[in-house]
Structure 1
């Protein structure tokens, strides 16, 4: 594979999670960000642990098919590892991430990877969706929407979540996270995130979900969402929730 010339947030996260599917340019960017902010591995391990707990909760509700947007590198406790009996379709707009994912998942009958733009649910290949999410129109699915809200303005995010709500069957569930204003105190790190990055105060999160209804757990720091034991002591950089499209 030709080495990319620029870093990728997904591959930086793979580095922080201890994976092996990243390049020197990603390591350099990750270390530069840590110089401006501080250690990131504990924060992203906490976010990945939230993903695992959220996905298990969704599976326990009887959902056995997952559509993952902005999947990045699908390793280190990702959806198909947490719920190995489920069908999973990973998607991303980054061609390098898609290529890595397809290579990693080659030969798996119930797990696939393809192009998909989170802001356009219709961009997901219909053939892949039919193969890995049969019954999409009439069976509940789990939609994983992590690491994306911070790069969408309020109008785009609200429209996207509403389109997803319309697209899925009743009983479907959405796992989502939001970036807080944690980086406001670290201007150098904030500048590295680029002009599209949006921090939001926690009180704004619920309104962005539109018709999606959070579970009784609410929208809380990810380390405190149904923790397995004592919550990790990490900065409250991300809030997370699982929200439902009610049946009936």
Structure 2
């Protein structure tokens, strides 16, 4: 599990600040301000990412998905998965102790949510966790959510291999939702500034181009409209009003057809 380092920026706490939360330290605020300076669209992009999560979960519940495995959930804020899908079972997974403490406290009053410690880079640990195995019904489809987590896992750290292990373990009829940061469309100077901020944080970013993000879905067929800038994925009128090409986050959902574990 990642240790709490209040003097070093942390991606989950930066994201919480961007969303208007309250669970962050001065180092996180300073890093967030540098990101906003590098790109004035960074904060609305964070909110657009939250809108994408809501729409993705709503889409999946509309298909009959009633259970979710949310990897790299981040600090709880408005619009958590169990709030968007109140009749579903949800397992939240994160490796940040601050996230786990807050999530466990928030979920204490519900019997439809579980919170476990785990790292996306170690699929076996998550998939064999007793809570994950027993709380979810592995004979029924699962909505696997990887929202803004995979751009913190480099190719060298096995991002593609890790996602493949999760895909292979899911029951037939499951779906994989991914949102992922990218520097596509950004000027080189702005991209370098964004990457520099994350180099000083507890999680360094690997902001892949669209083609690299598509590879994370493996052979999963993507539902319409495919992998697109997140404001363009099933828009419902709730938006931050930023041009989609300036958001810097792609999102999509793929259907998995594995036989499970």
Return the TM-score normalized by structure 2: 0.85
What SS does the aligned partner of 1:62 have?
coil
Which range moved further: 54-63 or 104-113? 104-113
Alignment partners' CA distance in 1, 2:238 and 2:20:
23
Match of 2:225 in 1: 217
Match of 2:63 in 1: 61
Q: 2:188 aligns with which of 166, 184, 189?
A: 184
CA contact (8 A) 1:141 1:172 kept: yes
Match of 1:78 in 2: 80
**1:98-247 → structure 2 map (5 Å cutoff):** 98-124=100-126, 126-133=129-136, 135-136=137-138, 138-154=139-155, 156-181=158-183, 182=186, 184-186=188-190, 187-194=192-199, 196-229=204-237, 232-234=241-243, 235-246=246-257
Give a deviation string over 1:162-197, Cα, whole Å, max 9, x none.
Answer: 111111101001110222213733122221122842
Residue 96 to residue 173, structure 1, CA distance change in 2 (3 Å): same
What SS does the aligned partner of 1:51 have?
helix
Residue 211 to residue 132, structure 1, CA distance change in 2 (3 Å): same
Whose relative contact order is higher, 1 or 2, with alpha carbons under 8 Å and at least 6 apart? Answer: 2
What SS does the aligned partner of 2:109 have?
coil
Which range moved further: 21-30 or 86-95? 21-30
CA contact (8 A) 2:121 2:162 kept: yes
CA contact (8 A) 2:145 2:178 kept: yes
Residue 60 to residue 147, structure 1, CA distance change in 2 (3 Å): same
Runs of 5+ unmatched residues, structure 2: none
Alignment partners' CA distance in 1, 2:16 and 2:108:
19
> CA shift at 1:72, angstroms?
1.1
What SS does the aligned partner of 1:193 have?
helix
Alignment partners' CA distance in 1, 2:36 and 2:207:
18
Runs of 5+ unmatched residues, structure 1: none
Match of 1:17 in 2: 19
CA contact (8 A) 1:141 1:168 kept: yes
The number of residue pairs the alignment matches comes to 245
Alignment partners' CA distance in 1, 2:238 and 2:51:
13
Which range moved further: 168-177 or 19-28? 19-28
- Does 1:37 find its partner at 2:39? yes
